[in-house]
Amino acid sequence: MVRVGAGQVGTVARAAITRGTPYTVELARATATRGLIPGAALRLAKGVHLIGLPAVVMRAAVQVLIVHRSGLVIEEAVFFRVDDPAAYTVYEAPPQLGLAAAIAFLPTLVALVLAVVCLAPALAPHSVLHLPATWLTWIEIWLGLAFAAHSLPTYEEAGPLAEQARVGVGKANPAALLLVGPAYTVAWITRFGGLLPALAGGLAAWWLADAVMRLL
């Protein structure tokens, strides 16, 4: 089975899952893209990661747990660092596309659920009970937005997954047909660093939490 190839290349962390030539190409593209990220955007992304440290660690821990339970070899796991991406896992290449998608997107589901769980109670006093915000409200908003901001996979995860799904489409793989669109969408959102996905995740979680409160 192909093992993960990882290395510090430019400003890209050792986070790419290399599954043969297509994934090597994706890593090279990610490296080139990272070099185009403006310094201000990179500093803002690092700030978002620092503020959302609990969410960064949580997402990395969930991913490591999934990889470990899948029986794949973990080469290296970094749960937090002051960089973009702020965490990464280097692991053995999953043999199935479904498993690769689970490793990338199950932490997203966990993070979004936690974001809504934190944000919904914070929105309730204002939107339902019309009560003033307290210190607990602001803690809930902080945690909720932190989880939401770090819900999406990084480009180093989404890019190779999108490429694997594209190859699977050519082989008429049903899972690939379902995954290729979402994988490429996430890869596009995350290709310029962590700032845009943080905004997208935060807005999505806030909308979901508000929708939940309106339904209750």
Is the model's pLDDT at 11 over the cut of 50?
no
For 30-86, the pLDDT digits (tens) are 555 555 556 777 888 889 999 999 999 999 999 999 999 999 888 888 999 988 888
pTM of the model: 0.77
- Looking at the chain, the whole-number percentage of residues with pLDDT higher than 90 is 28
Q: What is the dihedral of CA 137, 148, 78, 58, to 10 degrees?
A: 50
Both tokens of residue 75?
């080469």
- Report whether pLDDT(127) > 60: no
Quote the pLDDT of residue 108.
94
What is the rounded average pLDDT for all residues in the chain?
79
| CB distance 141 to 119 below 8 Å | yes
pLDDT value at position 36?
55
Judged by average pLDDT, the poorest of 32-36, 101-105, 112-116, 192-196 is 32-36
pLDDT computed for residue 206 by the predictor: 84
**Tell me: the pLDDT tens digits for 156-176?**
888 888 888 888 887 777 878
Taking phi over 0 as left and psi of -120 to 50 as alpha, with beta for the rest, 28 belongs to alpha
> Residue 31 has what pLDDT?
55
- pLDDT score for 54: 94
